[in-house]
Amino acid sequence: MALSTAEPLVICHLYPLEMNIYGDHGNVQVLVRRCELRGIPVRVEAYHPRAAFPARVDLLVGGGGQDSGQVRVKDDLPRVAGQLRELVASGVPALVVCGTYQLFGKRFITVAGEDIEGIGVFDLHTVGGAERMIGNIAIETSKFGTVIGYENHSGATLLGVGAQPFGTVTSGMGNNGDDGTEGVFSHNAIGTYLHGPLLPKNPRVADFLIAAALARRSNALGDGPGELAQELAPLDELDALAERARAVALTRPR
């Protein structure tokens, strides 16, 4: 499809009814607001089970969900698995949290023993355990510095040998409470257990996703480092507020 700079950035929100807990919708709201404040046209397209997949996607977002929500979307996922794999492989930025993160792996075996096949975007698998991993969490990342959030999952995720974690846990449990890893980072896609929602507390991650979407769009347009790929304007007032919230969140007990 021919692209023009006037066309809005399309954020595809995956399964917003089934996969949304602990405020994960807020991630989409932050992306939209940070675009609007900079005058970047943006549109959200929700993808619901059995619906048509959006014709163009610049950014993918998926939230967390209970095991029951994951069971509800598992039959639909194979319909769009190919498109999702292709989008991530082609550099479309993505943020998938907890339940969707698990389904983007190869397999999730729930605590009740249900075996859910993932779509294999990420090289990892998850096994539900009797003990939930719950609480505030902080991780160190090479790209974004300290990232903070809140986790609540029974699934323990193990990364494949070559998979790169999103970060290293400094406080909390992360992927499995054992190996110190949290989430996964592949191409421009982030999988993570961090709710909160994540993006209001970590604006650098939000801007990475927006900048990656714009840069990819710019390449597709063939205008090199043109208008769309320019540095994102700083949002100092908003980010100063986020910084204060982060400072408080980091002092919170687990």
Compare residues 36 and 75 and give the one whose CB is closer to ligand GLN: 75
165 binds ligand GLN per the rule CB under 6 A: no
Minimum separation from the CB atom of position 169 to ligand GLN (A): 16
Which residues, in sequence order, are CB contacts of 210 under 8 Å at separation 6+? 9, 31, 34, 35, 40, 59, 232
181 binds ligand GLN per the rule CB under 6 A: no
Minimum separation from the CB atom of position 37 to ligand GLN (A): 29
Q: Which two tokens stand for residue 174?
A: 């992360």
Compare residues 70 and 218 and give the one whose CB is closer to ligand GLN: 70
- The interface with ligand GLN within residues 42-81 (CB under 6 A) comprises 64-67, 70
Minimum separation from the CB atom of position 132 to ligand GLN (A): 7
Q: How many CB atoms lie within 10 A of CB 149?
A: 26
Compare residues 154 and 186 and give the one whose CB is closer to ligand GLN: 154
- Binding characters for ligand GLN, 93-132, by CB under 6 A (x = yes): -----xx----------------------------x----
Measured distance CA(189)–CA(4) in Å, rounded:
24
- The conformation of residue 38, written as its DSSP 8-state character, comes to T
Query: Helix (H, G, I), strand (E, B), or coil: what is residue 8?
Result: coil
Q: What is the rounded (10 degree) CA torsion for 176, 196, 215, 59?
A: 90
Compare residues 152 and 168 and give the one whose CB is closer to ligand GLN: 152
18 binds ligand GLN per the rule CB under 6 A: no
Which residues, in sequence order, are CB contacts of 180 under 8 Å at separation 6+? 168, 169, 174
Minimum separation from the CB atom of position 28 to ligand GLN (A): 16
26 binds ligand GLN per the rule CB under 6 A: no
Q: What is the rounded (10 degree) CA torsion for 132, 170, 251, 246?
A: -100
Measured distance CA(246)–CA(157) in Å, rounded:
26
Amino acid at 71: V
176 binds ligand GLN per the rule CB under 6 A: no
Contacting positions for ligand GLN (CB under 6 A)? 21, 64-67, 70, 98-99, 128, 152-155
